[in-house]
A = this chain, B = another copy of it.
Amino acid sequence: MAKAEELQGLRDEVEQVSLEIVRLLGKRMELVARIADAKKKLGEPLVDFEVERRVRSRLSDEARKLGISEELVNKITTLMLQESVKLQEAGEKPKRQVSHFDIFRRARELEAEGKRVVRLEVGEPDLGAPGEVAGATAEAVKQGRSRYSDAKGIAELRKKLAEYLSNKYNTEVKAENLILTPGGRFAIYLTMRTTLNMGDEIIIIDPSWPMYKNCAEFLGVRPVVVNTSVENGWLPNADEVAEKITQATRAIVLNYPCNPTGKVIDRRTFRKLLDIARENNLYVISDEVYADYSFSEYPPSVLEYDDANFIRVSSFSKSWGMTGYRVGYVTASRELVERMAKINGMLITCVPEF
């Protein structure tokens, strides 16, 4: 009986503490509204990323000091910061951004009117799928190879891909390191969903394919940008990358050959970036879908380095003109592939076998 009373007492205490947390949230939002006001009068921008980072880092330190989960505090901090931004932006006009898909649609319209349009807005190769692929696909469909299959993709294909990559990069990729996805975008999503938590930061080198930031934000992850420019040959500065790393940083996206700049990175800089990632225990998400689109150098790949935190994303779209087949794939450690397979299996069962 005494034990039961003690339990009830503890529960009441938890409730009081929880209510106090909510009240403090209320107080916080009140202060944030006043800050928004003060900023407006000073003509300052509403979102100050450096202030946010300082808050995040202070709270994270406090969590560590108290011995409570940093992940939990990071997530709650993210929610509070998101709410602050929402509150401060209330009444502001939403920014309408032109996406590359708007341009894609406009191009289609112009073409429908009979105009000739040179299409640079979407990475759709002119080549089209090889005849053998189309033939074999048609054959597989006719043979009825259209039942549920493996969440990682069919074994034959993974084995062949493993051989192909092992030869190409003079390394050892096994079938167990590969998972097929419905396109390169889903490969990026699976990779980010598996390696990142809400409240984490990810370093992205701009200009970049919008998917990286969109997907990060979709997952409550904060993209931290390192800029490059045509003046420095679109080459990221390694020191600048290192400077952007905080306790919250979990990953960096590399995309060479780069969409949209076309930049092929040199091996020395690539290596330097990988070293920085390794020193800081970051995942490297190397999007190498354009690996076969280099006219000069042979582009470097994370597969040339042996590290369980290096992940290579690719697809059949660009190398083999198979955009509409929707086949992407990830090369990663066995453990990561298993975690991705669970999500793949839940969300899409499998990719078509044909």
Contact = CB atoms under 8 A, between A and B. Distances in A.
A20 B124 CA distance: 52
B6 A28 contact: no
A193 to B, nearest CB: 9
A128 to B, nearest CB: 5
A275 to B, nearest CB: 32
Contacts of A63: 22, 25-26
Interface in A278-320: none
Contacts of A135: 142
A141 B144 contact: no
Interface residues of A, number: 94
Contacts of A72: 25, 79-80, 83
Contacts of A128: 144, 146-147
Q: SS class of chain A's interface: helix, strand, loop or mixed? A: helix
A11 interface: yes
A136 to B, nearest CB: 9
A73 B324 contact: no
Interface in A303-354: 322-326, 343, 345-354
24 contacts: A7-B38, A7-B39, A10-B34, A10-B35, A17-B31, A20-B24, A21-B21, A21-B28, A24-B24, A25-B68, A76-B79, A79-B79, A135-B142, A141-B141, A146-B325, A147-B323, A148-B323, A182-B326, A185-B349, A186-B348, A214-B346, A218-B346, A326-B348, A352-B352
Interface of A: 3-4, 6-7, 10-11, 13-15, 17-29, 31-32, 34-35, 38-39, 41-42, 44, 51, 55, 58-59, 62-63, 66-69, 72-73, 75-77, 79-80, 83, 101, 104, 122, 124, 128-129, 134-135, 137-139, 141-142, 144-149, 151, 182-183, 185-186, 189, 211, 214-215, 218, 322-326, 343, 345-354
**Which 7 residue pairs of A and B lie closest in terms of their CB atoms, listed nearest first?**
A146-B324, A138-B138, A26-B66, A7-B38, A147-B324, A22-B62, A137-B141
